[in-house]
Structure 1
Amino acid sequence: MSLTLPKRPLGKTGLDVSLLGLGGFHQVEVTQDTIEAVVDRYLTAGGNYVETATGYGRGASETKLGRALAGRRDQIILATKAQGRTRDAAWQELNESLERLQTDHLDVWFFHNIGNDEHLEATAAPDGALAAFKQAKAEGLVRHIGVSSHWPMMYVKAAERLPIDVALIWGNYLDFCNFPEIPNTVLPALREKGVGVLFMKPLADGFLYRSPRMAFRYAMAQDADGLVSGFNSVEMLEEDLAACCAPTPVSDEEIVDVLRNAPELGTYVCRQCRNCTVLNNGSALKRIFELEGKVDRQMDSRRPVNAAEYALRERLKGWFGTKARAQDAYETTTPSAEQLLEFELAPCRYGIDIPRKLRLAHSKLARSGRIELL
């Protein structure tokens, strides 16, 4: 059966992007021949969004993709990212990116990982990277400006300070449990400004490898214009295509089923239910588990797993680097996990052992003192 990717408008850019985008992070791990086979199949299926960054393999991803896309520039929406915070650093990155990608312009140029207020202030300063972005757009070297981050509320701040057309933010059923402010606050704020939204990490950096179809179907149903995935083999791409090209729309029942049955959530990850069954007002409880998720994505349940699963969790749990921020927030959070243990706690609909999880969350979040699990 022939698979053709649907397209969606990318905010107010005037661009129509394929639902599945090709992310460049993992292209540094495979040979040029493999990348070219992946690109060929992706374009054949109607894919048209290719995104990379100068920081991926110190330019190796851009170089490989530039070779694979040679002669086909007019078929794609091409994006890359710059890490430099000053005008001169960003301008140098742009010229190097254009050379490696074998093109004379970018469709989207991203500020890469505006992670905190200091990054934002440096970027927006008179001699900051923003000056280079504006000049590049004025000269036709860049059509649209984007932003990425690893801290959700920085997207809201960036959209207030910078002329953002596109936001690249993570979206998957695991991390929406850890960063509920993304669907609840960040996405509505971006949409109010007409910003296009692309989801990265639809498989949570590979953690959802057991459930690719489930993960893509969930992400497709959220408020995003496209999903950028790091497939680096034709076999992986075919799985992603099958999910994204499915003829039936995602139903509410499917979303409920994901939250109920996803093996990665199991009987440990808090789903951030709007109608919590544990407490009449579950907001305090959900806040504790949200902060726990910002420490380690709720990946450390202190339950035995096999060696490969343990290694994967250890590699991914600190990916966003938000542990210190979560611990800072916990210091002023009331009631604390310890205090919530004194409440009358009803059973969780997902079978989570709430008292045990509260003790474990406290042990992760409290900078001094620990609680025994049993």
Structure 2
Amino acid sequence: MHYRRFGKTNLWLSVFSLGTMRCLAGESNAEENIQHAIANGINHLETARSYGKSEPYLGNILKKLPLPREQLTITTKLPPTPDSQVMDQWIDESLERLQLDYLDCLAIHGINTWEHLTWVESPRGCMQAIQDALAEGRIRHLGFSTHAPLEVILAAIQTNLFEFINLHYYYVFQRHAPAVALANQKDMGVFIISPADKGGRLYTPPAKLVELCYPFSPLELNYRFLLSDRRITTLSVGPANPQELDAPLAVADQDGSLTPQEIEVFSRLETQAETALGTDRCSQCYQCLPCPEMINIPEVLRLRNLAVAYDMTDYGTYRYGMFENAGHWFAGVKGNRCTSCGDCLPRCPEQLDIPGLLADTHQRLNGSPRRRLWG
């Protein structure tokens, strides 16, 4: 296991962090996952108020661990609120459930909208309680997690209120590259959320993607894409059982630059996308937005890109099904809401038939509705 400095927190975190959202099969299951992770060098455990019984489970397990408290970094996440008293109560409740005197890190969980950012910046908002908790030592470091549009993320970073950020960024989703760059410029720790799941459901990849990534697995290749970037501190893994830690642990000491063979595979993936999509490929420039019907056109077409190029239909259906079902955690409506108004067409540099591609994506990917596990 390798370790990296978590930005200005000056904490040294393992390059993989154990997220506990999926440690929900019972406390004994959670304990088995945590024990296995720690035995293999993971020193950062992350939970959230909204993750069911994760906080009390973790609190009970921490009491049983043989290593000193200061050898672990514990992070929990609390949602933004305009009410400082509510935030103060939540902090105390999390500390009580975790059976801790202090939190190493608190992340505001889901600064996903401009309104959320306003709640944080307001003198009467949640920051007053957080600043008091920092001064009292109940919290040692503050960051935020986000599923927001890039513009909101950049604005949140620019407030200079935060020491770290949790965000989505993967080989198949590089929209947030400017956020990684700005966070690094501000000396913030960068924690990548869910690279196995949100990064492509890479624990169950389609046969075409497996073939294209050979001799690497798609999951291994995505981990290497991220670990080769020294601006990134740590990647989240959320195992349902200890065996699901095997893949990340296999590359936990492989955090150097990409090898020529890895670069060749990424080039192969790019060539495949260009060939398969042809003139229908969305370049993810986002110039088509805003859509008057609130369709997240680039994200819909990104899912189409992946389904057509790499047969990532299962992943596409999974993510597409969250539109209209996950609120601000996955904003936007489905492609069939398009009225063919034409507003987006003159803004598209590729001159794509956006209404036609939206309809095609809906036909390919519209499965059963999905919701977030928590929140």
Equivalent residues, number = 328
Query: What is the identity, as a one-letter code, of the residue corresponding to 1:186?
Result: A
Structure 2 CA distance for partners of 1:67 and 1:299, relative to 1, 3 Å: farther
What TM-score, normalized by structure 1, do the two folds share?
A: 0.75
Contact 2:345 2:351 (C-alpha < 8 Å) held by counterparts = no
The structural deviation recorded for 1:294 is 2.3
Residue matched to 1:214 = 221
- The answer to whether 1:322 aligns with 2:322 is no
> Separation in 1 of the partners of 2:349 and 2:41?
53
Structure 2 CA distance for partners of 1:360 and 1:307, relative to 1, 3 Å: closer
Query: What is the identity, as a one-letter code, of the residue corresponding to 1:190?
Result: A
Task: Find the partner of 2:163 among 162, 165, 168.
Answer: 165
Task: Find the partner of 2:58 among 65, 79, 92.
Answer: 65
Residue matched to 1:350 = none
Structure 2 CA distance for partners of 1:286 and 1:65, relative to 1, 3 Å: same
Contact 1:296 1:323 (C-alpha < 8 Å) held by counterparts = no
Residue matched to 1:227 = 235
Residue matched to 2:19 = 23
- The answer to whether 1:13 aligns with 2:21 is no
Residue matched to 2:32 = 37
Equivalent position SS for 1:175: coil
> Separation in 2 of the partners of 1:149 and 1:248?
27
Task: Find the partner of 1:78 among 74, 79, 90.
Answer: 74
Coordinate RMSD, CA, aligned: 3.8
Equivalent position SS for 1:43: helix
> Separation in 2 of the partners of 1:196 and 1:302?
33
Contact 2:145 2:166 (C-alpha < 8 Å) held by counterparts = yes
Cα distance per residue 1:9-67 (max 9 Å; x no partner): 01121110000000122122x2222211111111111111111110112xx11111222
- The answer to whether 1:49 aligns with 2:44 is yes
- The answer to whether 1:335 aligns with 2:346 is yes
Contact 1:299 1:317 (C-alpha < 8 Å) held by counterparts = no
> Separation in 2 of the partners of 1:267 and 1:103?
54
The structural deviation recorded for 1:87 is 0.8
> Separation in 1 of the partners of 2:323 and 2:261?
29
Structure 2 CA distance for partners of 1:122 and 1:252, relative to 1, 3 Å: farther
Query: What is the identity, as a one-letter code, of the residue corresponding to 1:208?
Result: L
Contact 1:284 1:334 (C-alpha < 8 Å) held by counterparts = no
Task: Find the partner of 2:299 among 294, 298, 310.
Answer: 294
Equivalent position SS for 2:144: strand
Which runs of 5 or more structure 1 residues have no equivalent in the other structure?
270-276, 342-354, 366-374
What TM-score, normalized by structure 2, do the two folds share?
A: 0.75
Identity among equivalent positions (%) equals 24
Structure 2 CA distance for partners of 1:306 and 1:42, relative to 1, 3 Å: closer
Residue matched to 1:111 = 108
The structural deviation recorded for 1:93 is 1.1
Which runs of 5 or more structure 2 residues have no equivalent in the other structure?
206-217, 290-295, 363-375
Contact 1:168 1:200 (C-alpha < 8 Å) held by counterparts = yes
Contact 1:84 1:129 (C-alpha < 8 Å) held by counterparts = yes
Residue matched to 1:242 = 250
Cα distance per residue 1:110-140 (max 9 Å; x no partner): 1111111111112221221111110110000
> Separation in 2 of the partners of 1:359 and 1:243?
42
